[in-house]
Structure 1
C-alpha cells in the first residue's frame, strides 16, 4: 500500500466517524503511513549520497620510483668531453662502521665499507650511485696536476630528466648536489687490520697514522685519490630525482669524470 492510498483511507475514516474497532484500524494505518514516509525519506537521502562523488585526496599521488637502470642516457654522456687522464682503482661503497678484534676486546671504527669494484665506461663515466653511496678513484698525479689546480676545476650538475634547464648551481646552492671530490680520507680507506670487511690492505694506530700510511702508498704509486658522495638534499622532490654531474676543467674545457646519482630528500 503506497502513502497516497493510506492518506485517502484516513480521510474517509475521519469524515464518516469511527468506532473503537475502526479506531484500531486507523492507528494501524497511521503507523504504516509514518513507516512509509520514513522509508521514502531514507531512500531519497541514500540516492543523493550515491550521486555525490568522493572528495579527491591530496595523498592519492604515489611517490615516484627512481631506477638507475644501466647508467646515464646517451644524450647526457654526449655532453661530457673526457680528458685523456685514465681513471683507475674505481670502487663504490658506503661510509659506515666496521669492527676489529683487539685482544679479547672488539673495537668499532668508521670507514669505507661494502666496497665493490667499479667499471669506467665511455672514457670517464663512473658507475651510477644510489643515495648514500660513494665512489672512490685514483688518477695519475702528474697528469692531473698538468691541467691546473683546484681553482680550475668545478662540479657541474643538472637534472637527468630536464638537462635543457641547465646547471643546478644557477638556481640553487652548490652544496645541495655533489660538489666535493674529497668525501673520503686516508683513514677511511686504510682500515684496521683484522677488520670485519675482510680487507687485507690495512694498518694499525690512530686515524692520522693510518691516513698517513694511505698517503704514502698513493705517493709511491704516483696517484691522487678522489671521492664523491651521493648525499641527500631538502631540495629534492618527494620521490627523489636523478642528477648527472661532471667534474669539469674550466681552462681546458674537459671533464675528469662524470656520473649519475639519485638525489633523495633528507
Structure 2
C-alpha cells in the first residue's frame, strides 16, 4: 500500500514504517524512515537492530567504530550511492555537511553479527537490465548494495533502480514471499508514475513510500518525460532466501531475469 501522510518531511528522522506496529504494518518486519539534515545537524543511533543508512543526496560525515568518512552525492540519476551498514548495537553518528541532506534509514531484527561497512560508489554492483529486448521498454539501471553474495549475514537485500522516462521495472510481473519497501523520487520532481500492487494500481509522486506485502505482484512505470528512481529494500528470510518469481502468463516475453546466472533469456 502507499503509506499516507508522510510528507513534507521535517528536519531529523521521519518515521514511515514501523515493524513494532504490526496492526498498521503487518508482515513488513522492518523499520523505514527518511532522515533530513542540514549543515551541522547530527543524528545518532545504537539500536539493537541491523541498520543501513543510504545517502540519497547531500554531504555528510559517517562515524562508526572509530571511523569518520565524508560522503557526498549529487543527482541520484547520475551518481552512485553511499550506504553505511552496521549490525545490532553498533553506535553510529551522522553529521550534515551541506544545506540539504536526505538519507533512507532501514532497520530490522538480526541476531547475527558481521563487520560494519561503509559501501562506497565503487562497491555498488551496477547493471543495465532489459536492454535490447522488448523494444527497451523495461530498460533500467539496477544498483545492488547488499545481497547474500555481498553480505551473507545481513537480513537485507538493498539497492536502487533508475528509469529513463517511460520505462518499466519489476517486469515481467514478479513477486516473492518476502516483504519489500519502495521509496520513490522523480526528476523533475513534479513527475509521476504508477505501480501495480496485486490487483490495484497505485499513483506515485515524489518522496512517496509503498509497502509491498508477501507475494504481491509489483511492477511499476514512470511517465514519459520524467526519470523515476526508487530504493528497494527486501527483508530476506534465512529459511527461504529471496528470489523473484514471475507470473506464468508473461514468461513468454524475452528478457526474463535468471538470478542464478544474471543473464537475460533472449528469443
Query: Which has the higher Rg, Structure 1 or Structure 2?
Result: 1
| Greater strand content | 2
- Using CA pairs below 8 Å that are at least 6 residues apart, which structure has the higher relative contact order? 1
Q: TM-score category by the smaller chain? A: under 0.3
The structure richer in helix per residue is: 1
TM-score with structure 1 length normalisation?
Answer: 0.27
